[in-house]
Structure 1
C-alpha cells in the first residue's frame, strides 16, 4: 500500500515545484527580453572609447541623471568652456546631488550644485533651473585663475566652498568619462534605453527645439528652421562644415554633431525621442547605436536628425 505523503513532505514538494516554475518563468521572460531588444529597466550607460589596459570603463545612471549631465555639458560648451571645465562641473554635480535636481539640501541648498539663495547664487526658482545653475557654476569657475591646470578638487572647491573639499576627487574618473561623451569627443559612447511603460503621448517637436535652444543657445537652430519647421515627427539640427573642412572640399565638424546627438539620446525619455541619426550611426530606443549609411544635405553639411515617438 503506497505511503501517504506527510504534510511536511507535501510542503517541501510544493516549494520545489514552485521554485522550478519561477525559474522557468524567469528564463522565458529573459529570453523574450533578449529577442525583443528590451534592455530591462530604463537606464543610460557611458563607456570609454578605448579601454584602459584592455578593459572598458563604464558608468551607469538613470535617464534623469543623464539628461541633467547633458544639460551641464551643453551649457559649458555653449559658453566656450573647455572639456576640462565640463569635467569639473560634472564631478561637482555628482558629489553635490548625484546629478539629481534636488529641491532640498543642507540649510537652503538646492539643485544640481546645491547652490544657496542666501549666498548670492540666485533665487530658489532660478537655481532649480539646470541651465541657470550650470551657467552660474561656469561663471564662477571662469573666475578661478588657471582652473584648467588645477587639481579637480581644488578648482571645484574654489567655486563651491564646501565643507568636504576632498570629496570631489573620487568622481573625476566618471566625470571625465561623461564629459568625453557629452562634448562629442567620444562618438557612440552614450547609450540610453528609456522606459516605454511610463511614456505618455507622442513627442513634441516644438518642445525639442525649445530645449535645444535653452541648452545650446539660439544659434543652434537657424531662425527660419526654428520658427517655421513644420515636421511634427522629427527635428533636424544642421552641423555646419568647419572652415578647414570646407577648404578641403566639404565635411562637417563631427564633434559638434556627436555632442548634439548624445544630448538627444540623454534627453530621449523626457522628450519622447526614439531615433537619433548622425554621420553613419543611428540610435534607437530599442537597440542603441548601429551603423547606417549617412545622408548629406545639398549644401554639403550633415544633420543630426531627431525622430520622435508617435
Structure 2
C-alpha cells in the first residue's frame, strides 16, 4: 500500500498564503496612496524625525496618529517650558509610550488613568487632573527632578523611581523612539503631519490659552497683536478658507531657551492641527500647510498663497505664526 500523501492540501495552503500576501500588499498600497493623495490629504498621520525639514528618508523616524502626536507634543512642551534638559523629555516620553502608548486613557490597572497611568489613590491628583495631559506631564516632571542625578541614570532606573512600576525594564525598549521624538520636538528635528486640511473653525483664543497654559505668560515670548500680519489670507491647503492668526515673537536676547521654545511651539501647533483647526504654521525659514506637500515642512519660498500675495512660510526672525481656519 502506497504511503504517498495527496499533494492537494499543501497546494491549497500555498495558494491561501499567496492570496493572503497579495491582500496584505494591496492594503499597504491603498494606505500609501491615501497618504500621498492630494499632496497629503489622505488618511491623517504624523511622523517625527531628526531631519529639519523631513526630507532625509534615511534618518530615524517615528510614526504615530494625530492623537499620539498631540500628546507627545504636550509632554515635550511641558518639559521645555520648565527649562528641563532633553534627557528629561526623553524619559517622560518613553514612560508615556510604555504606560499608555501616548493615549490619554480613561482606564487602567486598578485606578490608573491618563498618559502616565497615574493613580488618584496614590496621591497623583484627581481623575480630572490626571487625565489633563498638561497636568499629568507636569507632575511627572516634578517627581522626576526630585530624583537625585536622574539625568545620569539609565532611563529604566529614572522612570522606575517615579512610576514604581511592576515591570521596570519595559521602559527600555522605548528609549530609541523617545529619543527621536525628543529630537523632533525639542531639538533640530521636525514633526510632519499629513491628512486633510482643516476647513474650520479654529479658535485662536483657545490656541492662545493653551500656549499660555503650557509655556506661561512670563517666558521669553510675547504675543503679537491679534489679527495682525497675514490674518484673513487663504492658502490652497485650507481650501480657500479665511484664517485667523496667533503669532508669538521671541523677546530680545532670549537666547537658546527662546529658540528651543519656539521650535516646540511650532511643532506643538502642527501636532495639534487636526484637533484645533490649524491650517498652517510658519517658523524660522520653514513652514507647514495642512493638506499639502504630504504634510512636510517646506523651505521659505516654496509656495504662494492662493491670492498670490506672498510666501505662506514667511515668518520673521524669532516669530512663530499659527494660522487657523475660520
TM-score, scaled to structure 2: 0.74
Q: How does 1:2-151 map to 2 (within 5 A)?
A: 30=33, 34=36, 36-49=38-51, 55-151=58-154
Residue in structure 1 matched with residue 250 of structure 2 by the alignment:
239
Q: How many residues align?
A: 268
Deviation at 1:57, TM superposition (A): 1.2
Deviation at 1:195, TM superposition (A): 4.0
Contact kept, 8 Å, 1:237 with 1:304, in 2: the verdict is yes
Q: Tell me the distance in 2 between the aligned counterparts of 1:173 and 1:39.
A: 29
**Is 2:293 aligned against 1:277?**
no
The residue matched to 1:233 in structure 2 has which SS? strand
Contact kept, 8 Å, 1:100 with 1:111, in 2: the verdict is yes
Residue in structure 2 matched with residue 264 of structure 1 by the alignment:
269
Q: Could you tell me which runs of 5 or more consecutive residues in structure 1 were left unpaired when the two chains were aligned.
A: 1-22, 246-251
Q: Tell me the distance in 2 between the aligned counterparts of 1:240 and 1:195.
A: 34
Identify if the C-alpha distance between structure 1 residues 289 and 244 changes in structure 2 by more than 3 Å, giving closer, same or farther: closer
Q: Tell me the distance in 1 between the aligned counterparts of 2:158 and 2:50.
A: 24
Identify if the C-alpha distance between structure 1 residues 282 and 158 changes in structure 2 by more than 3 Å, giving closer, same or farther: same
Contact kept, 8 Å, 2:49 with 2:183, in 1: the verdict is no
Deviation at 1:38, TM superposition (A): 2.7
Contact kept, 8 Å, 1:275 with 1:307, in 2: the verdict is yes
Identify if the C-alpha distance between structure 1 residues 295 and 45 changes in structure 2 by more than 3 Å, giving closer, same or farther: closer
Contact kept, 8 Å, 1:180 with 1:186, in 2: the verdict is yes
**Is 2:308 aligned against 1:308?**
no
Contact kept, 8 Å, 1:220 with 1:237, in 2: the verdict is no
Contact kept, 8 Å, 1:102 with 1:110, in 2: the verdict is yes
Contact kept, 8 Å, 2:266 with 2:283, in 1: the verdict is yes
Identify if the C-alpha distance between structure 1 residues 114 and 268 changes in structure 2 by more than 3 Å, giving closer, same or farther: same
| Deviations 1:177-210, CA, capped at 9 Å, x for gaps | 1011111x124x21012445xx573111111101
Deviation at 1:296, TM superposition (A): 6.7
The residue matched to 2:261 in structure 1 has which SS? helix
Contact kept, 8 Å, 2:280 with 2:289, in 1: the verdict is yes
**Which one has a bigger Cα radius of gyration?**
1
Deviation at 1:121, TM superposition (A): 0.3
Identify if the C-alpha distance between structure 1 residues 84 and 257 changes in structure 2 by more than 3 Å, giving closer, same or farther: same
Q: Tell me the distance in 2 between the aligned counterparts of 1:303 and 1:270.
A: 23
| Deviations 1:214-239, CA, capped at 9 Å, x for gaps | 1211235967x48x624661110112
| Deviations 1:106-165, CA, capped at 9 Å, x for gaps | 000000000000001011111011111111100110110000000000000000000000
Residue in structure 2 matched with residue 7 of structure 1 by the alignment:
none
The residue matched to 1:218 in structure 2 has which SS? coil
Q: Tell me the distance in 1 between the aligned counterparts of 2:71 and 2:91.
A: 15
| Deviations 1:61-103, CA, capped at 9 Å, x for gaps | 0111111111111111111211100000000000000000000
**RMSD of the TM alignment (CA)?**
2.9
